[in-house]
Amino acid sequence: MSEKWVQVWGQAHSAFSFFYYPSCKKTYRTVIKSSVSGRQIRVELSNECAKNAVLICAVTVAKCDKDGNLTGEPKRVTSRGMGGFWLKVGQTATTDPVKLNIGVNEYFCVSICVEKGALRSGNLIDNVDVITVKGDATREKNIVNQRRVRDTVREIASKVLGMYFHKPVPLIQSVQLLNSEDARAITVFGDSISQQGYWTNAFAERIYDEFPGKYSVINKSIMGNRILRDFGKRFICKGLFGISALNRLERDVLAYADTEYVVFALGTNDFLQYNTIAAPKGDKPTAREVFDAVVAINNKLISENKKMIVFNVMNFGECFDSKPEKEEMVKEYNKLLEENKHLFHAVYNQADLCINPDKPNCSKLEYLGGDKLHPNKKGGKLVADNIDLDWFR
């Protein structure tokens, strides 16, 4: 069987805003559990959403345990033969391949030492651990995470806002393994409901159990992300919500030949954000505009031999920013999806799964977090457990 590069982990980049890492010589060790196997590894790095260049002085990969303690010899990673290199603003770079035999369900880590430059590009994805320590510890067997003030701020923000913010994962855009077992990727293309991991991580576990070694689940979700429009220019955290799904489709999905299925879980913010602190009233869409954009994305994916499973929009009537006209648009959009589900590989009705029968425009509070918008762990597991795995056979 032929070999091909398959994503074992990846994320969609947006601007970190106040979550960023200030310039400081520091090592960032990202610990990943592999769902597919491979005999070589390469890392795609990105500085796309930064304001400054970044000097990387060392990169290593190694097998490790779940806590990031090395169990194998760290291997030096280069880019075009260089161990140290600059990433300019907006630049991406894929490292040279390194031999490293990684099996299904084994842990490995990517350790990156940054010499200069604030890290402002990446995401807050909750399916890896990031260990940070001052200095170059890329070859150290055991390192202990050094907390920063921003970690405390992030945790407080999670409690106050009622949604979960994971520790930022900088620089890495994808990690790829040279696989000989016909493994493929399932890409989750979503917003913060997917990004925070409550349904996506539970879904990934079901996929790994049902199809061991066959699929990786890659979470390319961005908080606040919309289908039709980029992040609001007046929003205080400019860039945090990322460019629109239409504008990032090529970067996050089409650029990867290994992606066979796309779980499309966007739309909530198109209806909810307008006329709030995040976006002006003029950003108001229609249900038909959003639906037509989803159809256009689906058609593009079909032309690239990729299949799309569309999630409809959960009812958000309990949320602070909800208004009757927004709830009506969601109802109309979900109806359009149901009436035209033959256009897609599948349509998943998560709205009815979580609906409060006494308040048809709302989801049950028992499934929601403190902001009454994002599913909690119970709601996330409910959504994950009811996805039909036959869609992926």
Count Cα neighbours of 366 within 13 Å in the Cβ-side half-sphere: 6
Q: How far apart are CA 127 and CA 346, in angstroms?
A: 25
Is the pLDDT at 131 greater than 90? The verdict is yes
Neighbours of 99 (CB within 10 A): 10
Q: How far apart are CA 93 and CA 84, in angstroms?
A: 12
* Local confidence band at 169 (pLDDT 50, 70, 90 cut-offs): very high
Neighbours of 372 (CB within 10 A): 16
H or E element that contains 121 = strand 121-123
Q: Which domains does the chain have, with CATH numbers?
A: 4-170 (2.60.120), 183-392 (3.40.50.1110)
Of 178, 141, 9, 8, which is closest to residue 64 (Cα–Cα)? 141
Which DSSP letter does residue 377 get? H
- Looking at residues 53-63, what average pLDDT do you find? 98
Sign of the dihedral defined by the CA atoms of residues 381, 383, 385, 387, in that order: negative
Q: Computed over its alpha carbons, how large is the radius of gyration of the chain?
A: 20
Main-chain dihedrals φ then ψ at residue 347, nearest 5 degrees: -125, 130
Is the pLDDT at 70 greater than 90? The verdict is yes
* Local confidence band at 1 (pLDDT 50, 70, 90 cut-offs): low
Neighbours of 182 (CB within 10 A): 13
Q: Could you tell me the pTM of the whole model? A: 0.95
Q: Each residue of 3-24: pLDDT tens digit?
A: 999 999 999 999 998 889 999 9
Q: Each residue of 289-318: pLDDT tens digit?
A: 999 999 999 999 999 999 999 999 999 999
Angle subtended by helix axes 377-385 and 200-210, to nearest 10:
40
Q: Each residue of 321-354: pLDDT tens digit?
A: 999 999 999 999 999 999 999 999 999 999 999 9
- Looking at residues 256-278, what average pLDDT do you find? 96
The sheet with strand 307-311 has its strands ordered as 215-219, 184-190, 259-265, 307-311, 346-348
Share of the chain above pLDDT 70, in %: 99
